[in-house]
A = this chain, B = another copy of it.
């Protein structure tokens, strides 16, 4: 693996996990020494993170981890809704819908095991997202969704999901996947809308609780 890529992956992970909290100053020399690469690949990694919006140049000399609060999450979900509703509609309209039938069945089975299945759940979501990316067959849309997901990971961390919400989320995804499999574009879009509304509500509530 290339050094620039290692540096990018490492910083991305640390920002998403909150190990590098918002406002943290990232010096090129400091970070490159810490991660054992030279400045060149570190610069490349930091430019990528800047493009992603995870870090920003506060002034010509100081780069910091960008802020990410409840208001950002609301704005993120506005954009997410626009892209995912469109994606769901397209996925339901195109012919290769069999995968979503399989995914729907997977979601049904996931309902069974309720405890400690968080990782399995997120893995299934990732699989679903990947299937959507293939189905929409649209680099521009996929690119936008990828950006959203990058930030979404930060949001997920701020809000520890409770098991009840997870159960609901699985059921919602099941509905979306089934709607796509059935070729019902309207239902797929509306189910996506509802899912995102519930997810946002749950996240914001979880954050409000956490900050008390």
Contacts and interface: CB of A to CB of B under 8 A. Distances in A.
Copies of this protein chain in the complex: 2
Interface stretch (A116-124, A136-144, A199-207): A136-144
Interface string A135-168: 0011111011001100100000000000000000
Given A44-B47, A138-B78, A143 B86 contact: no
A53 B139 contact: yes
Contacts of A44: 43-44, 47
A82 interface: yes
Interface in A14-46: 40, 43-44
Nearest to A56: B139
Contacts of A43: 44
A54 to B, nearest CB: 12
A81 B85 CA distance: 12
Interface residues of A, number: 29
A190 interface: no
Contacts of A6: none
A75 interface: yes
B47 A140 contact: no
Contact of A86 (B76, B78, B147): B78
A141 B79 contact: yes
A51 interface: yes
A171 interface: no
30 contacts: A44-B44, A44-B47, A47-B47, A47-B48, A53-B143, A75-B137, A75-B138, A75-B139, A75-B140, A75-B141, A76-B140, A78-B86, A78-B90, A78-B138, A78-B141, A79-B83, A79-B138, A79-B141, A79-B144, A81-B86, A82-B83, A82-B85, A82-B86, A82-B141, A83-B83, A83-B144, A140-B151, A143-B147, A144-B144, A144-B147
10 nearest interchain CB pairs?
A82-B86, A79-B140, A75-B138, A82-B82, A79-B141, A144-B144, A51-B51, A76-B140, A75-B140, A82-B83
